[in-house]
Structure 1
């Protein structure tokens, strides 16, 4: 198969990691896979490092022009961003190559144009059943299949942990952590309230919050107001966060909504007990593999964290690790994409 993979994001987040995995998997299985990405992006750099055939573009308009003249050379187009889907859909008038769109965000298309665009794709994959349901409710009629994001095992960086976080570990206290932006959808206020409640009951833990965002200053002010400066510790945005998970004793998510929750998968791979709200895709991900509480329930988060700190979590963490390392393994997810692509190219009814 000749597959064209497209991701036009400049940064390096979960979607870009999954794009690179997909391309690399196709190549390793003997397929002719090409990646289109933003010129100067992290994705371009990492693709070049792996000697993946990469075509850098400046804009979505230049992507459109490329597709008009070159898309017919490929058997299938697989795009990972909504903006690049626009170029794919409009260029399809010139090439007729089938388009697969992977959706990782829970926000549904609301405008008539966006809905039309989604319905012009030949197939859509979503990383959770929750996102699929959201699209169906938004009157998206394109066939949809759930293909989860793949888990990516990362070796702990013990030297970095000791160098950058040794002072925390040397206190002998439990390390509770979250990796979440300071944005409304992540609900940092409920999380802060839960940690405040926990700090009243016990003093044997530190809470590390990794992330940045527009609500950070407001949260910092509340930390000071509640006198939690020595308990609730803001760590900012950090690179390669996955190599730090081994130092956590409990991992927490307080989201109001979530497509899936890749940071939770990282916790699963490190045998870290997870406490999470039942928001969106988190509900299906954490069910029977961690502790779920209702969205916005600070007391529920507090009690679940307290339970984790006081109990043996081996059964849950074992279930979680097995799920992440088998059902979400890179080989399994790559195989699901490959099977889908073959089906699309052989079934004329799709």
Structure 2
């Protein structure tokens, strides 16, 4: 098939990584792929054979009209059989395209439980009939969009994100090497958080939880060695740095910034911690589980569907509950081989990137009226 993936941007983020991962999987299975980004820049790895276009759109009416015209010209030239849009701005632009021209079937995927305020929900509702299908990455997110009046229940379905289980897998040698590079020894309990440094990721709550654990160890005169590494960049970095200083965590917490070695860092961890208030379906939880890592997470949208009983879920915004759950998880460390295998197997069986990509191709084919004989078969 000829598949056009339309996205708001290609910077580092869960939705952007999913677009890149799907593109890689589609290309491996023999499909032609084009990726159109509304905004400039690319921080994710895209397949070399994919056609990549940046519309360089800005938040002005003139720029949006220009971007719509560029997209229309590209669609007529490249002739995709389906357009699959990701994230709110790309979703709405794809629907505008379908309103003004004879576009191929348009699928719109929402990735956040909070896609926006009333105006965005109104825009979704008014343009709903221009999409052949709307999907969300989690049931909680689907219900949020229905409750906001953005879409009727029968017009939206759940399609989960896929996890690259070949990239994210337990690797003892990688674990030892990365822990050594981080300057931690075999007795150090390592907690990892991966995410943009933005208010909705609530890393300040995680810092409060870690501070509680440090105070607990100090009062018990324990020799336990604890380190937290936070991977990511964003506008609240300076506020987090101030909190680290205020809480006396300078020797405990390290902000690593943007990294390209997240699989190795997850291998180095004993526990992955998610402190978010808002999510859609947090890919990094699946990546942590696929790496065999123990997981403690808040009850943000999509977490329970991914985590199941393979980790511990605590209330959002509750530093005490987060600290208690982390304390119990760290007492076991990364766990036994059987425990690591069980975590990974949950993702392999339910959320592997290859399985999700093939579900998407079946969906595309149905909407585009492509027969099974016309769809390339993946290599065995």
TM-score by length of 1: 0.87
Pair 105,161 (structure 1): closer, same or farther in 2 beyond 3 Å: farther
The counterpart of 1:91, out of the listed 77, 94, 97, is: 97
Higher relative contact order (CA 8 A, sep 6+): 2
Give the distance between the partners of 2:342 and 2:191, measured in 1 at CA. 20
The counterpart of 1:79, out of the listed 85, 88, 97, is: 85
**2:174 touches 2:267 (CA, 8 Å); kept in 1?**
no
Question: Can you list the C-alpha shifts for 1:137-192, whole angstroms capped at 9, x where unaligned?
Answer: 12212722211111124266968984795352237411112113332212223212
Pair 138,318 (structure 1): closer, same or farther in 2 beyond 3 Å: same
Does residue 136 in structure 1 map to residue 159 in structure 2?
no
* Corresponding residue for residue 72 of structure 2: 68
Pair 298,235 (structure 1): closer, same or farther in 2 beyond 3 Å: same
Ranges in structure 1 where 5+ consecutive residues have no aligned partner: none
How far is the alpha carbon of 1:290 from its aligned partner?
0.3
Pair 58,235 (structure 1): closer, same or farther in 2 beyond 3 Å: closer
Pair 230,125 (structure 1): closer, same or farther in 2 beyond 3 Å: same
**2:6 touches 2:90 (CA, 8 Å); kept in 1?**
yes
* Corresponding residue for residue 11 of structure 2: 11
**1:197 touches 1:302 (CA, 8 Å); kept in 2?**
yes
**2:8 touches 2:88 (CA, 8 Å); kept in 1?**
no
Question: Can you list the C-alpha shifts for 1:287-326, whole angstroms capped at 9, x where unaligned?
Answer: 3010111112212111111111223744654432112122
* Corresponding residue for residue 221 of structure 2: none
Question: Can you list the C-alpha shifts for 1:42-76, whole angstroms capped at 9, x where unaligned?
Answer: 26x844x5222334434354442244345463322
How far is the alpha carbon of 1:101 from its aligned partner?
0.9
**2:39 touches 2:55 (CA, 8 Å); kept in 1?**
yes
Does residue 241 in structure 1 map to residue 259 in structure 2?
no
* Corresponding residue for residue 302 of structure 2: 281
Does residue 29 in structure 1 map to residue 29 in structure 2?
yes
The DSSP-based 3-state class of the residue aligned with 1:208 is strand
How far is the alpha carbon of 1:82 from its aligned partner?
2.2
* Corresponding residue for residue 211 of structure 1: 232
Give the distance between the partners of 1:238 and 1:157, measured in 2 at CA. 20
Give the distance between the partners of 2:303 and 2:167, measured in 1 at CA. 21
